[in-house]
Amino acid sequence: MSQEQLIQIIAEIARLREENEKLKDEVAYLKFELEQARAKRYKSDKKPPSELGEGQAEAPKKKKGGKFGHIGWFRKKPDKIDRVEDVRLDCCPHCGCKDIQECKNVDEHIQEDIVLPRIEAVSYRHHEYYCPACQKKSVAGRGPGEMPSSYIGPKAKALAVFLKYSVKVSERDIQALFEKVFHLKIVNSSISGFRFQLKRAGGPLYRALIESLKKGLFIHADETGWKVDGLKRWLWKFSNKKVSVSHIDASRGQKVLEMILGEKYWGVLISDFLSAYNKIVTKAKQRCLAHILRDLKKVKEYWHDDVEVMTYIARLVQILDEAMSLHKEYRDKDWDDVYKMKRESLKVSLGDFAFPNPNKRILNRFAKRLERHKNELLVFLYERGVDYTNNHAEQQIRPDVILRKITNGNRSEKGAEYHSVISSILQTAKLNKIDPIGTFESLLLGKKQYSLLTALSPP
């Protein structure tokens, strides 16, 4: 073998080694992406016995019942007893003797049960009057609890909409429930009409909720996939501690944010790392730290044998953990000089942080993300009331996700509009611990004052 051939072989081996390293990196990245896709579809982290490592035992099952030493839960005695039933004996249950004497002791058992409501048919008689001054006739207007030109009252309509959007009951089952429980016959198409009436009545409130949201000190934002007549759409959720707003749109881009929040929002926008949130002008932005920590956990799984990478990941996790601990420690305390000193130290540590080898594909995305959003990770240490995760938005969007799994979205664009308005009013009422059925009823009756208006003041 000549020297020239030997040099070519050595060069080929070097090239193959380099290619092998790139392929390993590619496989690790693809495994990472696959695991993320699985995590989105299948939430459980539990591994089957076949995937457990050698000598790795399956975690013991949790013991049923409450923990030892915990005080048991007992139902409270009702404040009011509506009816008393005295239960007596006619004869001795042991021998049948009828000559028995009643003792002073009484064994009391209290039971609560449902009293099924009855249908109330109300005839509104609108009296006619004559005015001798102007010589004109007039008819008395709307009566209490009356919806003109409607044969079903506001309470029934409000309950039907609540069952649809809060309890996730289908229109067919709502129809059956009304007939079996209340003896009120309605048809499926009527329930769609109820939703239209509530959307029309609640439209001004929906717009007022959006305006109130923009006046708040912070907004949580999130989005999830949706379907309208089988076509891909996006359900956006904007919320704070008092107001929750839904919006269904064909776009997942920045224009939706500008349409809802305006070109500028002078508060703190709390979100994940979707690029649509990057260019919107705000006072500040807080990115969800839970997203970073979850992704870093995946990186540790695939680079667990790389000491340098593991050291840097541990350092980043330490910085974030210290920041979250500082936030919890001073949640209800004044921000003194010690707090401000620790806060600045964490800011400097995060500013100086960098990954050792961002050329690895998995690490490259984190290196870019960290560099781009370094100034948006510790905002919660500078703005009171701001969370370091976007959990609030995810909690607010969860009822919509559950409804999507049941209904697969909406059948029409009008149905999407109904959902946006009604779910916004429903979840805002729940945030403020206000009865949503009563709110729906007030809107259907056209009342100008109701409890939910208190949510329109910014938090």
Q: How confident is the model at residue 360 (pLDDT cuts 50, 70, 90)?
A: low
pLDDT of residue 116: 81
pLDDT of residue 340: 94
Least confident of 50-54, 107-111, 355-359, 408-412: 50-54
Task: Determine contact, residues 400/423, Cβ cutoff 8 Å.
Answer: yes
Name the residue with higher pLDDT: 89 or 66.
Answer: 89
Which whole-number Å values give the CA distances from 356 to 29, 308, 311, 349, 376, in the listed order?
17, 7, 10, 15, 22
Domain membership flag for residue 447: no
Domain membership flag for residue 374: yes
Q: What is the pLDDT of residues 158-201, one digit of tens each?
A: 999 999 999 999 999 999 999 999 999 999 889 999 999 999 99
Q: Which residues on neighbouring strands pair with residue 232, listed in sequence order?
A: 227
Q: Which residues on neighbouring strands pair with residue 218, listed in sequence order?
A: 268
pLDDT of residue 361: 63
How far, in Å, CA of 324 to CA of 360, rounded?
A: 29
**Which token pair is 415?**
């149905």
pLDDT of residue 425: 96
pLDDT of residue 118: 84
Instruction: State the average pLDDT over residues 290-300.
Output: 85
Q: How confident is the model at residue 9 (pLDDT cuts 50, 70, 90)?
A: confident
pLDDT of residue 23: 82
pLDDT of residue 65: 67
pLDDT of residue 49: 52
pLDDT of residue 55: 57
Task: Determine contact, residues 422/436, Cβ cutoff 8 Å.
Answer: no
Domain membership flag for residue 315: yes
- Ramachandran sector of residue 96 (left: φ over 0; alpha: ψ -120 to 50; beta: rest): left
Which whole-number Å values give the CA distances from 376 to 81, 161, 283, 347, 380, in the listed order?
57, 40, 11, 11, 9
Domain membership flag for residue 212: no
How far, in Å, CA of 218 to CA of 214, rounded?
A: 8
Least confident of 190-194, 291-295, 297-301: 297-301
Domain membership flag for residue 389: yes
Percentage of residues of the chain with pLDDT beyond 70? 90
Domain membership flag for residue 288: yes
Domain membership flag for residue 366: yes
pLDDT at 51 over 70: no
pTM: 0.81
pLDDT at 93 over 60: yes
Which domain covers residue 250, as residue numbers?
219-393
Q: What is the pLDDT of residues 409-447, one digit of tens each?
A: 999 999 999 999 999 999 999 999 999 999 999 999 998
Least confident of 13-27, 223-237, 366-380: 13-27
Under DSSP, the state recorded for 41 is H
Domain membership flag for residue 158: no
pLDDT at 90 over 70: yes
Handedness of CA 210, 215, 220, 222 (dihedral sign): positive
Among 285, 277, 239, smallest CA distance to 258 is for 277
How far, in Å, CA of 165 to CA of 437, rounded?
A: 11
Q: How confident is the model at residue 399 (pLDDT cuts 50, 70, 90)?
A: very high
How far, in Å, CA of 377 to CA of 324, rounded?
A: 11
Number of domains in the chain: 1
- Mean pLDDT over all residues of the chain? 87
pLDDT of residue 386: 95
pLDDT of residue 66: 67
